[in-house]
Structure 1
Amino acid sequence: MLKFLLALSVSALLVAPVQATDIYPVTKACTPGKAHCERWSEEFKKALALAQKGDHAGQQTVAFCLSTGCHGAIAVDRVASCSWHLVILDSGAATVLDRSNLRNTCRPMTPAQKDEARALAGELVRKIYQRELAPGDQM
């Protein structure tokens, strides 16, 4: 019963998706008993903490979850996902797969969404690496 009440109270706190000025993605309340959702919610929180410290694998997980929702654990936000892919490419540790993920995530977006993703990526790079996002359009 306590678990049910806790889940019910948490589900009332769903938040809107990430905006350009908000660099913290949104986890969603998992339905009790959805093991994949609960596991990904915890994995995402760990990955986000690592990503914000410049960890390449953490950044990849954050970008992936923002584009797929990770079994309903994360609010899908293509703009935020694209911005994390831009951060990954700017980190100096990007792989060929990272470049492909950036193209697949960012190219279908509108020009306004791409501008928003660039702005968010700039904020993230300043916060993580204490420098400006490298110029150039990799989308």
Structure 2
Amino acid sequence: MLKFLLAVAIGVFCVAPLQAGDIRSVTKSCPSGEKQANCERWVKDFKAAVELAHKGDHGAQTTVAFCLSTGCHGAVTIDRVASCSWHLVIANSGSTTVLDRSNTRNTCRPMTASQKDEARALASDLVQKIYKRPLVKTDQM
């Protein structure tokens, strides 16, 4: 997370969110108790979704965006900017649904202008890496 904040502070967006080395900093340690198994399942599912999301899997991208927005029952650190960036990736995937557009609006619109700019920059990197093309702006923000 410190690397991410440093990159934002100096305006460099060369590392897309949730690269393999960053997954540990996004997922949380599950507390012991009755909800531990559920939390551990979400951590496992989130890690698998991140890998598939980077390969262009629509369902996995939706899971990653959802978990970054909600925390997936305490298994993932909430990061609305990263969630918005994944929603923008989904909007650029070519297989967007009405629900995807609604999720993009609900996640991205309440953010500040600088947060939206940051999300666009992160999404631009992801779209370039995943789909090998530039980000197309969306009116959903």
Change in 2 beyond 3 A, CA 1:89/1:76: same
Q: How far 1:16 sits from its partner (Å)?
A: 5.4
Deviation at 1:35, TM superposition (A): 1.6
Asked if the contact 1:47/1:58 (under 8 Å) is kept, the reply is yes
Aligned: 1:45 with 2:64? no
User: How many equivalent residue pairs?
Assistant: 125
Match of 2:67 in 1: 65
Displacement, 1:137?
A: 3.7
* Amino acid corresponding to residue 23 of structure 1 in structure 2: P
Residue of structure 1 equivalent to 2:80: 78
Q: Does 1:23 align with 2:17?
A: yes
Q: Which of 1 and 2 has greater Rg?
A: 1
**Residues 130 and 58 of structure 1, relative CA distance in 2, 3 Å threshold:** same
Contact persistence 1:23–1:123 (CA under 8 A):
no
Q: Structure 1, unaligned stretches of length 5 or more? A: 1-14
CA contact 1:18–1:77 (8 Å) conserved in 2: no
Hey, what's the Cα distance between the residues in 2 that align with 1:51 and 1:90?
13
State the superposition RMSD in angstroms.
1.7
Aligned to 2:135: 133
- CA drift at 1:28: 1.2
Task: Give the C-alpha shift of residue 18 in structure 1.
Answer: 5.4
| Residues in 2 aligned to 1:84 and 1:136: alpha-carbon distance in whole angstroms | 13
Aligned AA (2:32): P
Matched, 1:101 2:103: yes
Match of 1:3 in 2: none
Structure 2: 5+ residue stretches without partners: 6-12
CA distance in 2, matches of 1:114, 1:78: 10
Aligned-pair identity (%): 65
What's the CA shift string for 1:15-73, capped at 9, x where partnerless? Answer: 55955544215111111341221110000011111100000000000000000000111
CA distance in 1, matches of 2:77, 2:3: 6
Aligned to 2:9: none
Aligned-pair distance for 1:138?
A: 2.8
Which ranges of 4 or more aligned residues in structure 1 deviate by more than 6 Å? none
